[in-house]
A = this chain, B = another copy of it.
Amino acid sequence: MPNVVVLPGDGIGQEITPEAIKVLKAVLKDSSLKLEFENYLIGGAAIDEAGKALPDDTLEAALAADAVLLGSVGGPKWDTLPAQQRPELGGLLAIRKALSLFANIRPVKMLPMLVEASTLRPEVVKNVDLVVLRELTGGLYFGEKGRKTNPPSAYDTLIYSDEEIRRIVDLGFQMARQRCGKLCSVDKANVLESSRFWREITLDVAKKYPEVELTHMYVDNAAMQLVRYPTQFDVIVTENMFGDILTDLASMLMGSIGMISSASLNGKKGLYEPAHGSAPDIAGKNIANPLATILSGALMLRYSFDLEDEAKLIERAVESVLEQGYRTTDLAKPGDKVLGTREMGDAVVAALGKK
């Protein structure tokens, strides 16, 4: 039986992951595939109980698992620790690195009933349905960095190997082929050597995918175009730093990152988590929004287990619940029916049954 390691983490992570598991179990009730879920510690919770943010048994289990579902990590309690030991660097970044997750995927799909939450005009965002694919293990984040004297200075290195670029761009083409057939590769080739290299390799990989329409866009223009005319995009692929900025910017088209799911992949192996944080201020009150984590569960079915139909069932159930006017407090407007975290999970399960 395929095995999913569940890492609730800190804050609202403890409340939202059980809702995702509830929905996953429900959608797989009549399926031939069953998933086994095992909980492990990560982040601040792991620091408190096991002395470090990524305990050995968590790491071993994650390495052996077919997929990992993560809630969120961090909180003020651990902010005074040295950066490397904190929940974020010591837990989340460490597990992403240990699993060699080189591709981060964030789908941004506007739902009609959420158009009003966006700061952009309804006609600009109403049909947004795009994915930003971000390289996650290279570039400025992991290149050589340090300080120099004479003159006093500091540096980071944006470096990419042929193979690092090739595998993420290839994944971009695959995703574009399964979606609307359009891939936009974002770089800064007019200035950066690493971007010119990126573009050369992208053009080479493109030969394998004649059915995909490839375009190139400079990163500053891409930021503008996401705000000016976001429906022009299908799949965007880009390097780590540019992707860090563009994934968040694209998510903001939705008005908040409260509904944004994400997948970080290395082949079929993946870590699935909401884009939002641990929100310690609202933790333990049964008011957190579990939908981004539930939608991350759908991504897990799609990317780690090839269960496209079941993934779509979850996505449609979430839409249906929102269509019925149910909202958690973060999304609620006058007239909406406000649900707690658990009740929202139940509502999604109920909506699954109504197909």
Bound form: Cα–Cα A83–B219 in Å: 19
In the assembled complex, A196 has its CB within 8 A of some CB on chain B: yes
Bound form: Cα–Cα A221–B198 in Å: 25
Bound form: Cα–Cα A22–B83 in Å: 57
Bound form: Cα–Cα A210–B223 in Å: 34
In the assembled complex, A180 has its CB within 8 A of some CB on chain B: no
Chain B residues within an 8 Å CB radius of A88: 190
Cβ 8 A contact of A153, one of B160, B221, B224, B227 = B160
A205: shortest Cβ distance to chain B, in Å?
14
Docked-complex contact A157 and B155, CB < 8 angstroms: yes
* Interface size counted on chain A using CB atoms at 8 A: 56
Chain B residues within an 8 Å CB radius of A146: 193
A155 and B194 in contact, given A119-B121, A124-B119, A227-B119 (Cβ under 8 angstroms): yes
In the assembled complex, A331 has its CB within 8 A of some CB on chain B: no
Docked-complex contact B151 and A241, CB < 8 angstroms: no
Q: Which residues 249-270 in A have Cβ within 8 Å of B in the complex?
A: 249, 251-253, 255, 257
CB-nearest residue of chain B relative to A125? B119
A163 and B151 in contact, given A124-B119, A220-B244, A223-B245 (Cβ under 8 angstroms): yes
Q: Which residues 198-253 in A have Cβ within 8 Å of B in the complex?
A: 198, 219-221, 223-224, 227-229, 241, 244-249, 251-253
Bound form: Cα–Cα A180–B159 in Å: 40
Docked-complex contact A157 and B158, CB < 8 angstroms: yes
Bound form: Cα–Cα A39–B229 in Å: 38
Chain B residues within an 8 Å CB radius of A158: 140, 155-158
